[in-house]
Structure 1
Amino acid sequence: MVALAPAVVPRRRRALGGGRLAPYLFVAPFVVVFLLFMVAPIVIAVSNAMYSSRSSGLGFGGAETVFVGLQNYATALRDGDFLFGFARVALYGLVQVPVMMLIAAGLALLFDSALVRARRFFQFAVFLPYAVPGVIAALLWGFFYQPSVSPLVQALQGLGVDADLLAPGTVLWSVANVSVWSNAGINMIILFSALQSLPRDTFEAARLDGAGELRMALSLKLPMIAPAVLLTTLSTVIGTLQLFNEPQVLQSITPHIASDWTPNMAIYAVSTLGGDTRLGSAMAVLLGLVTLVVSLVLVRVTNSSSREGL
């Protein structure tokens, strides 16, 4: 009999522990980036909010850092303008989020149907505003909102409508219009991609049973892409709570947007303009907690509705 030589394990494979370390090496870059740019800023903000800078002596000895515990959080919660910013974005979100999702879902369902010609062109046209930076989009719409130069306002005035799109009662919805115009396209793309992954034979069977496009959209397509709808809704809600670019830019052309108009603007005003980074960190942590709670509640409500529908 001929003895078989033992299998030779490649040196590279032995060096990696038989391949057991390979997955960790691939995951390591993500873990490092996640810890540096996601976890570390949160830890630093929480730690920073526990301290305060106070002048020592008669003010000639500079400032010293002292531990104050939850005092900065208490100061933030006593700030009426900061808390009213949450109420303002809540009202903003109650209108903007449903409108955004209705437009995005409606366009995605329309492009997925057989009713649209030149689909690629219209998809590109809807998605194009998302490629415009938020600051540029706010500047563009700011031009359309100024009564002295806006062709939109002048056209409305020509029809006998006295429109002031930057008035105290309308400026919130003018900001919402900029956000919807900028972000509806990306949400439409996400929902349309989810629709394209659905099995086509299900819809063919529904057509043979006499179901129209509207019936299939409401009874089949939307329930089947519920995870994608939840994803886009969550991202829209989080973006609403973090509203900053649009009102910050429009603030320069209207006196009806204060420096603390939204929670994010209040954080910027306190930490950058006011120079109190400790209080700004406390405000940022509170904003993060509110965002987390709202997201968890939305996910729980959505999951409960899905289980009841089964």
Structure 2
Amino acid sequence: MTATTHAPKAARRSSKAKRSDAAKRENRTGWAFMAPFALLFAFVFILPIGWAIYSSFFRQVVSGGGAYGGGELVNQFVVLENFRYVITSGDFWAGVGRVVIYTLIQVPIMIIAALALAMIIDSFVVKHISGFRLGYFLPYAIPGVVASIIWVYLYNGQISPLVKGLAALGINVDFFADNIVLASMANITTWTFTGYNMLIFLAALQAIPHDLYEAARIDGANGWQIAMKIKLPNVRSAALLAMLLSIVGTIQLFNEPQIMQTADPGISKSFTPMMMAMNTSQGTLTPSGDGPASAVAIMMALIAGVLAMAYALVERKVNEE
């Protein structure tokens, strides 16, 4: 009886050991496949962030020299002095204010336009969906710098066929005027990213079960009622995601003002925080160097993190309803 009793126990232990060995092999295989990505991710993402945080505690100062100058630049540990400079900088907060105004102008227009395009493509009115989808998405395939150069050409009053055409109609527009320049930048971003956000909405719309549409039609609902009562409520999560990506993107506003600065000297080197960071690192703003520039970038990253947390809270509240 004792041998008979111990045999099943030994068999179970052997079976568990085999399963454990198989699980370990699977884990090792998974880590082996993930290792190239993890190394590349650490190299191009984690290490630069770590270096930026390290650099933010240093500032370049002149060491040595005499009464007539001279000396050399050395990195000096300044604790939180770079962050104090950023927090108390009027230029930094003025740039943040411009970005906020830009966001209030651009993001709602782009999200509404992307949602409208997605709903049109998803409806039965539009045929040859692939052509429309590709056409709306094509501007996103154009690099941001190239898109900005194209629109700066179209904004230039001396050579632009757009400006000349509007002037022929009696409409004189200066796209670089102080009260219009932000809207001009917003137009570039909207033209570039509307198709990208449209795909987010279109994916959410196509995930809605078509049984809901059929049931609504049986109950007598028309196309407008289906769109308002079924489609819109089911794309709330997609709308929140698109808004988060758009808001975080506007915080990094750089290409449009940097390119437009070549045609409009009124756009300062600290027009946006990202321009301020780049020009600080290149030495065209004071204090200069990697330290103050890293502090500017980290402050903007913190603002982006706060917005991401707000998005998570809003998404949780929406999903609970």
Instruction: Give your verdict on TM over 0.5.
Output: yes
Unaligned runs of 5+ in 1: 1-5, 8-12
- Tell me if 1:27 matches 2:34: yes
Deviation at 1:258, TM superposition (A): 1.3
Deviation at 1:245, TM superposition (A): 0.7
Following superposition of structure 1 onto structure 2, how do residues 40-189 of structure 1 map, counting pairs within 5 Å? 40-58=47-65, 60-189=70-199
Runs of 4 or more, structure 1, over 6 Å off, are 13-16
Greater gyration radius: 2
- Tell me if 1:37 matches 2:47: no
Q: CA 1:297–1:24 in 2, change beyond 3 Å: closer, same or farther?
A: same
Please give the per-residue CA displacement for 1:19-71, whole angstroms capped at 9, x wherever unaligned.
33222222323322222222221111111111122222336552332221100
Query: Retained in 2: the 8 A contact 1:100–1:184?
Result: yes
SS in 1 for 2:27: coil
Matched-pair identity in % = 36
Aligned partner of 2:298 in structure 1 is 285
Deviation at 1:125, TM superposition (A): 1.3
Aligned partners of 2:25, 2:178: CA distance in 1, in Å?
A: 67
Query: Retained in 2: the 8 A contact 1:267–1:280?
Result: yes
Structure 1 range deviating more: 169-178 or 48-57 = 48-57
SS in 1 for 2:292: helix
Amino acid at match of 2:247: V
Aligned partners of 1:278, 1:149: CA distance in 2, in Å?
A: 41
Aligned partners of 2:133, 2:242: CA distance in 1, in Å?
A: 17
- Tell me if 1:220 matches 2:260: no
Aligned partners of 1:154, 1:145: CA distance in 2, in Å?
A: 10
Query: Retained in 1: the 8 A contact 2:237–2:315?
Result: no
Aligned partners of 1:116, 1:44: CA distance in 2, in Å?
A: 51
Aligned partners of 2:309, 2:25: CA distance in 1, in Å?
A: 41
Unaligned runs of 5+ in 2: 1-10, 15-19
Query: Retained in 2: the 8 A contact 1:16–1:22?
Result: no
Aligned partners of 1:257, 1:129: CA distance in 2, in Å?
A: 25
Aligned partner of 1:3 in structure 2 is none
Indicate the RMSD between aligned Cα atoms, in angstroms. Answer: 2.3
Aligned partners of 2:59, 2:269: CA distance in 1, in Å?
A: 23
Query: Retained in 2: the 8 A contact 1:73–1:279?
Result: yes
Aligned partners of 1:17, 1:103: CA distance in 2, in Å?
A: 50
Amino acid at match of 2:60: S
Deviation at 1:192, TM superposition (A): 0.7
SS in 2 for 1:19: helix
Structure 1 range deviating more: 214-223 or 203-212 = 214-223
Aligned partner of 1:196 in structure 2 is 206
Aligned partners of 2:89, 2:315: CA distance in 1, in Å?
A: 33
Aligned partners of 2:246, 2:28: CA distance in 1, in Å?
A: 38
Amino acid at match of 1:132: I
Amino acid at match of 2:296: M
SS in 2 for 1:260: coil
Aligned partner of 2:246 in structure 1 is 236
Deviation at 1:15, TM superposition (A): 9.6
Amino acid at match of 1:39: I
Deviation at 1:183, TM superposition (A): 0.6
Structure 1 range deviating more: 132-141 or 207-216 = 207-216
Aligned partners of 1:200, 1:228: CA distance in 2, in Å?
A: 18
TM-score (norm 1): 0.90
